[in-house]
Amino acid sequence: MFRLAHLSDVHLGPLPDVTYRDLASKRMVGYVNWQRSRRHIMHDGVVGSITDDIEATLVDHLTVTGDLVNLALDAEIELARLWLETLGAPANVSVVPGNHDAYVPGAFDKVCRAWGPWMTGDGLNAPVDRHSFPYLRVRGRVALIGVSSARATAPFMANGYFREDQSHRLGRLLDEAERRGLFRVVMIHHPPVRGAVAQHKRLFGIGNFQKTILRHGAELVLHGHSHDPTLYWIRGKRHSQVPVVGVAAGGQGIGGSHPAAQWNLIEISGDPGAWRLELIRRGLSGPTIPVGELSRVDLMRRPAPLETVRHTS
């Protein structure tokens, strides 16, 4: 059995000192939002409780599906790099960037340089940049494929993008992993399903992504961004149905409009054509209650219709 941890949207804080020059951009909107709301509900102590629980659970690999930071300030990017070092060696932790990690023009390239070891495919030594996605890592009998939907957007927008060039590369990696008899996990920040988030937060290229999965197949898609523990299904190859799993924000405190911090434990076993897959949600359920199991779902029991959301906690 392969035990995969899924964490997302930790939004590490508090914010470092910010200058007026830093705020001469979209960051002004994000800074005001942080001061008014996010700083009250996103807590480092919560993130620590979640990561301590992941460590105690002894997983085989950890995935982080974006939004490690808030405004993509240089100091935040460096703090996130140090935080990633505490999670584990780059070989044991796989990251894809989120919209907050590419908050303003130029931030994405800085993130790629700083977090590159955690976002590089097997056997690649070249510096990571936006053209390095998707990347492929193989751990045991599991293929981890990291897709980037991150891009700087206008104020009040948090959209993601999945273009044709990336879809072609993703298709080739999915085919390669299938030939090797691997269980294929696709990681992306924005949910690649319709209706999962508001229009100003949606992924542009949902159709491209779903057509790629339909043509080439996958066994599981993991995402963040919505801050909700959701489960969708999209069509895969040979009439299969592929689970699309979201997770509550890893830094979310008790009492917000979204569920408190959670992480997903995904247990993978079996063989090609007869994979077994179970989703276990772990997280906070009260201000004085430690992190514990919240729900358990057999993902091989497929619902209908497709692309229907189910909140599983």
pLDDT per position as a tens digit, 107-129: 999 999 999 999 999 998 766 88
Q: What are the angstrom distances between the C-alpha of 2 and each of 6, 70, 214, 267?
A: 13, 32, 25, 6
Tell me the pLDDT band of 32, cut-offs 50, 70 and 90: very low
- 3-class secondary-structure state, position 231: strand
Query: At residue 306, does pLDDT exceed 70?
Result: no
Do residues 27 and 268 touch, judged by C-beta distance below 8 A? no
Burial class (CB in 10 A: 0-12, 13-18, 19+), 143: buried
Indicate the CATH number of 2-311 among 3.60.40.10, 3.60.21.10, 3.40.640.10, 3.30.2310.20: 3.60.21.10
Tell me the pLDDT band of 61, cut-offs 50, 70 and 90: very high
Please tell me which residue, 31 or 87, carries the higher pLDDT value.
87
Backbone angles phi, psi at 68, to 5 degrees: -75, -25
Instruction: Determine the Cα–Cα distance for residues 295 and 93; give it in Å rounded to an integer.
Output: 24
235's tokens: 């069509």
∠ CA(8), CA(190), CA(248), 5° rounding? 35
Query: At residue 59, does pLDDT exceed 90?
Result: yes
Do residues 126 and 117 touch, judged by C-beta distance below 8 A? no
Mean pLDDT of the chain: 88
Domain boundaries, the chain: 2-311
Q: What letter would DSSP give residue 221? A: E
The answer, as to whether pTM is greater than 0.85, is: yes
